Amino acid sequence: MQKKRSPKHLAIIMDGNGRWARQQGMDRVRGHTQGAEVAIATIEACVTREISELTLYALSVENMNRDQREVSFIIKLFVETLLKEKTRLHENGIRVNILGERKAFDSGVLQVINEVEHLTAKNKKLKLNIAFNYSGRWQIKEAFFRAIETHDESTCAIQAYDAFEKSLGKVITSDPDLLIRTGGEMRLSNFMLWHLAYTELFFTEVLWPSFSEETLDHAIQVFKSRDRRFGQIKDDVYIETKKKITAT
C-alpha cells in the first residue's frame, strides 16, 4: 500500500488566547504573549516535519475593531517577536512573508516587516506566511484590483482572469493541505477563502497557548488517514461500487 503523505502546506487559525488567559486568572493580552511563544515553537516543529509552507493566522481585519489597548498590544508583540526571533528564523532557513493590509501600520512596523522579509528572502527550508491584518475577502479584492489595473478594455476577460488567479497564487504559493483551528470554533473567520477550497480541516478544543507538538502530530496522523478525492472516484472505490452494481 502506498505510504500516506504528510501535509506540505499547513495553515493554522491560532484561536483561544483570550480564553486561555482568563482560565489562568490573567488579563486577555497575556494569552497573546503565551500564544506568540507557542507560535515560535510550532514553526520550529514544522521544520522537522517535512512541512514546506506554513501559514499562521495572527490577526484578522475584523480583530482590528477590538478594544484599542488589545490591538496595540498585539501589534507591539508582533514587532517585538519578529525582532527577537529574526536571526533564529533566518539561521533555520525560514523565509518570512507577511500577508495582509499594511496601510494600517506606521512606518516603524513597516520597517521591521521589510527588514525581516528582506533578511530571509532567499531561504528555502520553510516558507512562513504570517497573516496579520488579513482577511480572505480582502485578498480576493486586492487580486481583482491588481488584475484590472494591468488590463484595459482591449484585453480580453480571460487574460484579466489569468492575472487575477496569478495574483492570488503569488503570495501564497500553494493551497494548504491541512488547516488546523484551535479554540473549539468550527468556522473559517475570513481566512484564506480562495486557497482552502480542497483543504482538509481539523478542529480542536485545545486553546492556542496550550497547543503542543502532540496535538500537531495528532492532526498530521488524522490528515494521513483521510481520503482526499478532489471530486474524483478512486479506482478501488469505483471497482467495489461497480462490482456491487453488476451483482444486483
Catalytic residue list: 15, 63
Q: Is 206 in the site for Mg ion (CB under 5 A)?
A: no
Euclidean distance between CA atoms 57 and 192, whole angstroms: 9
Pick 75 or 147: Cβ nearer ligand IPE: 75
Among 210, 191, 209, which Cα is nearest to 201's? 191
Q: Which of 9, 10, 11, 14 binds ligand IPE (CB under 6 A)?
A: 14
Matching residue, cell 481583482 = 144
Matching residue, cell 490577526 = 59
Q: Which of 19, 90, 146, 151 binds ligand IPE (CB under 6 A)?
A: 19
Q: How far is the CB of 114 from ligand IPE (least distance, A)?
A: 22
| 9-17, 47-55, 82-90, 118-126 -> range binding ligand IPE (CB under 6 A) | 9-17
| 1-9, 10-18, 115-123, 157-165 -> range binding ligand IPE (CB under 6 A) | 10-18
Q: Is 81 in the site for ligand IPE (CB under 6 A)?
A: no
Q: How far is the CB of 6 from Mg ion (least distance, A)?
A: 28
Q: Which of 36, 38, 58, 220 binds ligand IPE (CB under 6 A)?
A: 58
Among 217, 228, 227, 222, which Cα is nearest to 51's? 217
Euclidean distance between CA atoms 193 and 187, whole angstroms: 11
What spatial distance separates the first Cα and last Cα of the chain, rounded to whole Å? 30
Q: Is 133 in the site for ligand IPE (CB under 6 A)?
A: no
Euclidean distance between CA atoms 131 and 194, whole angstroms: 14
State the number of binding residues for ligand IPE (CB under 6 A): 17
Q: Is 200 in the site for Mg ion (CB under 5 A)?
A: no
Q: Is 85 in the site for Mg ion (CB under 5 A)?
A: no
Q: Is 13 in the site for ligand IPE (CB under 6 A)?
A: yes
Q: Is 15 in the site for Mg ion (CB under 5 A)?
A: yes
17 is in the binding site of which of Mg ion, ligand IPE, none (Cβ under 5 to 8 A by kind)?
A: ligand IPE
Backbone dihedral region for residue 10 (phi beyond 0: left; psi -120 to 50: alpha; all else: beta) = beta
Among 116, 86, 7, which Cα is nearest to 54's? 7
Q: Is 185 in the site for ligand IPE (CB under 6 A)?
A: yes
What grid cell was written down for 72?
A: 496595540
| Burial category of 37 from C-beta neighbours within 10 Å (exposed 0-12, middle 13-18, buried 19 and up) | exposed
Matching residue, cell 489569468 = 162
Residues that bind ligand IPE (CB under 6 A): 13-19, 57-60, 63, 74, 183, 185, 187, 189
Residues that bind Mg ion (CB under 5 A): 15
